[in-house]
Structure 1
Amino acid sequence: MFDKQRLLELVSQNEQELLDLTAKLLQIPSENPDGDTREISTFILEYLRTNGIEAKTYEPDPNRFNIVASVGPKTGKTLIYCGHSDTVPVGDLEQWDFSPFSGEIKDGYLLGRGASDMKAGLAGLIFSMVILKRYDVPLKGELVLAIVPDEESGGDFGVPWLLDEGIITGDGCLIAEPSSELNPTIGQKGSCWFKLTVNGVPAHGSLAPFVGKNAIVDAIRAIERIRTVTDLAIQAPAELKELLQVSNEYLLENERAETRGVFEKITCNIGTIQGGTSANVVADKCVVNIDCRLPFGITNEETMVYIKQELDQLDIDYTIESFGFKSSANYTPAENPVCRAIVDNISYVLKEHAYGVLQWACSDARHFRVHDIPVLQYGPAELDTIHGFNEKVQVKQVINCAKVYTLAAIDFLNE
């Protein structure tokens, strides 16, 4: 067994390399949707190969390819370390106080789009594998690194493809998605994204509402009905009572009291609305993209049945089409070995009590659970900046997470 303190010393000795790696990832644009992640993937490939780790690439899409690498023997258990290289778009550049592709360190923070979600965590996974390889740390099993280019827009070309094709499988998985320092996410809500299309009858705008049928007005009525999903009383399974209680207490302890109950309710976000052709034309079409997140106790199908029942009470011409994220709530028990390996080493590194909680969003973790692979998420983050302007992450968190990743791989594979 490799001494834990010795491993921590090795990470500390090489921490500048970790920060330089993170900075470089931040400096390479990899926005999604409709992005091209070839540049960042090519950089990662070269970094791995420079450090003696050969990786394979898998290309389900011309502009996006997956990277899979491994260290350790294939005779024991397999642990998957997974991260995505894509980010959400940077948005309005005028709203940023620094370049979204900065990668600089200022006041103890690394700056740039993807700093928290999740290039810093991804860098930590890559760096952890390199450290284990560089110093010939003995492993009784295989550590697999899976880097995917397509998570932020639904992930069709990433994790689910790798799993469905049988390219990766394992006894446990860690995804370096953003989390709080002491609380990895061991479960998550389900997701129900859909597009509502409302059709109207065009006419001259000067005669509305006497003639024509305005699709935008009907869409507003439809939205009001759809948003009533948040009022549904949903009963979670009895075995999740403790996890739900712990997760709600976590919200209170982290000054998120306004979100208490989010794990037991459906949330509903009206994301985009597009309708009409001109101010003086009664709109003949309105398209609304909607994101609902589902708690334990209700399925995607049951949610859509309720929504359609509500809309059918209105005198409107509409269609609904699912897209993007679609899943039911899911979790990995806290006592599972992969959860224990991460949680125990968070406590070891930070010298504080760590425990797993639920996540109010969702991620690639759902795909691993569909394939019966226990999974949790833990990564460095400044949570309030995720998907917003001025995204950043604390340098000390980046380093501490890399320490946890390195120690957890040893504990899980060598137990």
Structure 2
Amino acid sequence: MINKQTLKDQLIHEIEQRKDDLVDLCSQLIRIPSENPPGDSTHITTFIDDYLKQVGTVNHWYESTDKMYNLVSTIGNTDGKHLIFCGHSDVVPAGDRSKWDFDPNSGEVVDGWLLGRGASDMKAGLGGLIFTFALLKELEIDLPGQLTLAVVPDEETGGEFGVPWLLENGLIMGDGSLIAEPSSRYNPTIGQKGSFWFKLKVFGQPGHGSLSPLAGNNAITSMIDAINEIRKLWDLPVTIPDHIQPLIDKSKKYMREVEKDREPFQDVMDHITVNIGTINGGTKSNIIPESCEVEVDCRLPFGITQDEVSDYLHEKLDKLGIEYEISRFGFRSNANHTSADDPVCKAIIDNISYVTDHESYGVMQWASSDARHFRDYNIPVLQYGPAFLPSIHGYNEKVKVEDIVRCCKVYIAAVIDYLYDN
């Protein structure tokens, strides 16, 4: 009879003994370019496949679109529960490399920091999942359930060729999932706001600029009126459901007491955020513009749906008497969450406290991720990964080595608790 606590402690110790190998794996992942766009995951998927084969795993490649490869591997026994480890291999572009203090594909460790694009989002977290998966296979741990590793290529663009493609095609399934997306040290994200991204195109009538505003119909000035209406979404009253309010309250507490630089932004938890991200219109200064287009990113709290936002926008824009078109793109979802009492959440939250000897609780994410797709398929999910949050998607991205090791210890302990607790 296996003593679960003894096994868990032994595996945590094993991670500590092999932490240099863990960090080296994460470094190697950063050194492999995998920017999306363009989204070619051939090189990094090949590396991960070769790494896992060294311990004898059977890995399956699934090309969801040209040069975007999903890698799926499963270990354990089919009799018990099934846990999915999920991580994305793509990263956002490095941007202007002259603004970096080091090579974005450095992968170096300097003064306790692992450096490079993807260090926090999310190659360090992905490395922790891969390392945990490989170690359990190498040590021949007799798991009473299954553990699947799913490495996906298409998260950073909000694309459909990673997690949603695997789920839709029945290539992954499970009773719970952990995504190693960046989070704070003690607070995994167990919920997220919804997303409503849209393009608005406004049409006018061209004419000679010297006759404006008496001639023609200026699409840009009409767009200004439209933008003013769109921005009022922030002020739209939203009633948070009673069963969600405690999660919102905890998330605001987190913003006040943990990630303190976020304290001024607490209201994003129960308001619709509105970002006018791009604008394009007109031909030249002396021609009355015939069209103008904006791209808008709205994030939706609990208490309002995508359909309700769409209805609101059409009502307000119709009243302006303008000619327009709205089309959706990118992220699209309603707010969603997994109960903190779900076994997969408890396994992670309890083991964060166990490994760190510090209070842990789940919070809301004010952005969006692949977690929503798992919830669409009724798979409970949360996110927990090593990160230096201010550096995500910015220049000089980095993560603390100690955070990488800590998260990996939590991962392996959580596997034992989750699969052995039947």
TM-score range, shorter chain: over 0.9
Give the number of equivalent residue pairs.
415
The CA distance in 2 between the partners of 1:219 and 1:21, in whole Å, is: 50
Shift of 1:201: 2.2
The CA distance in 2 between the partners of 1:38 and 1:215, in whole Å, is: 44
Map of 1:389 onto structure 2: 395
Q: Percent identity?
A: 54
Q: Give the alignment partner of residue 180 of structure 1, picking from 177, 184, 208.
A: 184
- The question of whether the paired residues in 2 share the 8 Å contact of 1:155 and 1:364 is answered with no
Map of 2:270 onto structure 1: 264
Using structure 2 for the length normalisation, give the TM-score: 0.95
The CA distance in 1 between the partners of 2:74 and 2:181, in whole Å, is: 20
Q: Give the alignment partner of residue 321 of structure 1, picking from 321, 324, 327.
A: 327
- The question of whether the paired residues in 2 share the 8 Å contact of 1:189 and 1:295 is answered with yes
The CA distance in 1 between the partners of 2:205 and 2:39, in whole Å, is: 36
Map of 2:289 onto structure 1: 283
Shift of 1:261: 2.0
AA aligned to 1:229 is L
Map of 1:148 onto structure 2: 152
AA aligned to 1:150 is D
Map of 1:46 onto structure 2: 50
Shift of 1:60: 1.6
Q: How does 1:153-172 map to 2 (within 5 A)?
A: 153-172=157-176
The CA distance in 1 between the partners of 2:69 and 2:395, in whole Å, is: 27
Shift of 1:81: 0.4
Consecutive unaligned residues in structure 1, runs of 5 or more: none
The CA distance in 2 between the partners of 1:205 and 1:399, in whole Å, is: 63
Map of 1:56 onto structure 2: 60
Map of 1:108 onto structure 2: 112
Per-residue CA distance 1:278-320 (angstroms, 9 max, x = gap): 3343322222111100000100010111111111122322100
Partner of 1:287, secondary structure, is strand
The CA distance in 2 between the partners of 1:389 and 1:218, in whole Å, is: 37
Quick check: 1:70 aligned with 2:74? yes
Alignment RMSD, CA only?
1.4
Map of 1:274 onto structure 2: 280
Using structure 1 for the length normalisation, give the TM-score: 0.97
Shift of 1:206: 4.1
Q: Give the alignment partner of residue 197 of structure 1, picking from 192, 198, 201.
A: 201
- The question of whether the paired residues in 1 share the 8 Å contact of 2:104 and 2:396 is answered with yes
Partner of 2:360, secondary structure, is coil
Partner of 1:124, secondary structure, is helix
The CA distance in 1 between the partners of 2:236 and 2:63, in whole Å, is: 42
Map of 1:237 onto structure 2: 241
Map of 1:303 onto structure 2: 309
Map of 1:227 onto structure 2: 231
Quick check: 1:367 aligned with 2:373? yes
Partner of 2:225, secondary structure, is helix
Q: Give the alignment partner of residue 355 of structure 1, picking from 358, 361, 367.
A: 361
Per-residue CA distance 1:76-132 (angstroms, 9 max, x = gap): 110000011111222222322222211111222111111111111111100010111
The CA distance in 1 between the partners of 2:233 and 2:347, in whole Å, is: 38
Kindly report structure 1 stretches of 4+ aligned residues shifted beyond 4 Å.
none
Map of 1:398 onto structure 2: 404
The CA distance in 2 between the partners of 1:233 and 1:55, in whole Å, is: 49
Per-residue CA distance 1:360-414 (angstroms, 9 max, x = gap): 1111111111111110000011111111222111111011101111110111011
Q: Give the alignment partner of residue 122 of structure 2, picking from 118, 121, 139.
A: 118
Shift of 1:321: 0.3
Consecutive unaligned residues in structure 2, runs of 5 or more: none
AA aligned to 2:304 is I
The CA distance in 1 between the partners of 2:390 and 2:181, in whole Å, is: 14
- The question of whether the paired residues in 1 share the 8 Å contact of 2:39 and 2:153 is answered with no
Map of 1:10 onto structure 2: 14
